[in-house]
């Protein structure tokens, strides 16, 4: 990269590519200029078109055939670098011991698009999803170049088969969605008129847990409320729960076909584009998008998404599947969350730590009134 481009680059004058490639840098700058304002990335990724002598944790090395490189691919990963194997409409990222496989369209500008989305602060696997959703010339069309047509997004490959029947649908806009620690809380909250709740009980003896879930299901039926059970899908199925909420790590453990056949609704957690595509593969009842803000209720695998990303996810998925915003949401920020167009917000401490839970619930429910 020459001195002039370093001074004028909207990407901070970093060496985006190795070896330096002026044409790719110019394309990346052109694309980045049309993607809007995003906080500067704290991870200065460098896309390597050929393998550097010494790979480092900021390198994404692009190769056409992993088998051709054999041992170096493993060594690069040990050194902290990522490897993207890209050819014939397929791109697979190997990073941090994980494998992210995508099948889609590789535009001529997919590599500079990847650089631009990385600069927007997206993790490599999410930036790769967006790069495969990019089409040459998108930066010249319309006022907003951000990919928002789901039909153009890639598919995640290598996933277990989805159940033959899709999961039963939830209402399109689930409204206020308290996530609660005990059956006592569930009974209290549905008694206040809340129609969607979740029991998230992580530790309990098996017998006690079964009794808690049965109480929650009974409370839901008594108040015509939709009760989801977090994680414990077998007990939820046995108790006849309305729905189950699972994290991405649970998808390989649960009998999804059995749940779908029983009419149990399924909610899935997601933390970015790659996990959203993974969730959609299983045709769930709703997709949870988070964490929107910092939260202390659980250890999160990713940094907070923020409102700008949430708005992008809603734009992509509105009308496709019911959406739930989750993570650090309280009465104060709820109006900003709902302004993104999402039809449901999950809350935890905003209810369980409220001075007057009934007043807090009433105030938040008013926010969902058209």
Fold of 175-366: TIM Barrel (3.20.20)
Q: φ, ψ for residue 299 (rounded to 5)?
A: -80, 120
Query: Does the annotation list 362 as a binding residue?
Result: no
Query: Does the annotation list 199 as a binding residue?
Result: yes
Query: Does the annotation list 198 as a binding residue?
Result: yes
Query: Does the annotation list 352 as a binding residue?
Result: no
Find where tokens 């011991």 sit. 97
Query: Does the annotation list 53 as a binding residue?
Result: no
End-to-end CA distance of the chain, in Å?
53
* pLDDT number for residue 71: 72
Query: Does the annotation list 269 as a binding residue?
Result: yes
Task: Say how far apart CA 230 and CA 246 lie, in whole Å.
Answer: 6
Query: Does the annotation list 248 as a binding residue?
Result: no
Task: Say how far apart CA 147 and CA 182 lie, in whole Å.
Answer: 41
Domain ranges of the chain: 3-156, 175-366
Q: In the numeric block, which tokens belong to residue 253? A: 């453990």
Query: Does the annotation list 253 as a binding residue?
Result: no
* pLDDT number for residue 332: 97
Q: In the numeric block, which tokens belong to residue 150? A: 């789901």
* pLDDT number for residue 21: 94
| Ranges in the chain, pLDDT < 70 | 1-10, 12-13, 66-70, 297-301
Polymer length in residues for the chain: 370
Query: Does the annotation list 328 as a binding residue?
Result: yes
Query: Does the annotation list 200 as a binding residue?
Result: yes
Residue 260: C-alpha distances to residues 165, 166, 169 (Å): 7, 7, 11
Query: Does the annotation list 203 as a binding residue?
Result: no
Query: Does the annotation list 336 as a binding residue?
Result: no
* pLDDT number for residue 70: 64
Query: Does the annotation list 202 as a binding residue?
Result: yes
* pLDDT number for residue 3: 34
**pTM summary value:** 0.94
* pLDDT number for residue 356: 98
Q: What is the dihedral of CA 273, 278, 283, 284, to 10 degrees?
A: -80
* pLDDT number for residue 65: 76
Task: Say how far apart CA 273 and CA 125 lie, in whole Å.
Answer: 8
- In degrees, rounded to 5, the angle at the alpha carbon of residue 117 between the alpha carbons of residues 143 and 35 is 15
């Amino acid at each position: 990269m020459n001195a002039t481009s370093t001074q004028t680059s909207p990407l901070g004058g970093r060496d985006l590519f190795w070896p330096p490639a002026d044409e790719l840098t110019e394309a990346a700058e052109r694309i980045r200029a049309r993607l809007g304002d995003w906080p500067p990335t704290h991870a200065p990724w460098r896309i390597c078109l050929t393998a550097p002598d010494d790979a480092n944790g900021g390198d994404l090395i692009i190769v056409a055939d992993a088998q051709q490189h054999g041992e170096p691919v493993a060594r690069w990963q040990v050194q902290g670098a990522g490897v993207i194997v890209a050819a014939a409409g397929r791109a697979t990222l190997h990073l941090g011991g994980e494998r992210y496989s995508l099948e889609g369209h590789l535009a001529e500008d997919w590599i500079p698009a990847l650089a631009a989305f990385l600069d927007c602060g997206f993790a490599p696997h999410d930036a790769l999803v967006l790069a495969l959703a990019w089409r040459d010339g998108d930066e010249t069309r319309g006022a907003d170049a951000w990919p928002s047509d789901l039909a153009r997004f890639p598919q995640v490959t290598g996933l277990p088969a989805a159940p033959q029947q899709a999961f039963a649908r939830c209402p399109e806009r689930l409204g206020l969605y308290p996530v609660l620690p005990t059956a006592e809380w569930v009974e209290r909250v549905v008694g206040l008129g809340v129609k969607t709740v979740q029991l998230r009980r992580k530790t309990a003896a098996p017998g006690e847990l079964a009794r808690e879930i049965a109480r929650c299901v009974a409370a839901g039926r008594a108040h015509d409320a939709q009760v989801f059970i977090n994680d414990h899908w077998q007990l939820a199925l046995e108790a006849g729960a309305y729905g189950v909420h699972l994290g991405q790590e649970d998808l390989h453990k649960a009998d999804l076909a059995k749940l779908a056949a029983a009419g149990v609704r399924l909610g899935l957690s997601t933390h970015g584009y790659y996990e959203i595509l993974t969730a959609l593969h299983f045709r769930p009842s709703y997709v949870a998008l988070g964490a929107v803000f910092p939260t202390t209720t659980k250890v999160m695998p990713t940094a907070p998404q923020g409102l700008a990303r949430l708005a992008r996810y809603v734009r992509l998925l509105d009308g496709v599947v019911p959406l739930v915003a989750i993570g650090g949401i309280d009465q104060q920020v709820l109006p900003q969350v709902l302004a993104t167009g999402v039809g449901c917000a999950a809350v935890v401490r905003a209810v369980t730590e409220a001075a007057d839970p009934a007043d807090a619930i009433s105030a938040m429910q008013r926010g969902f009134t058209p």
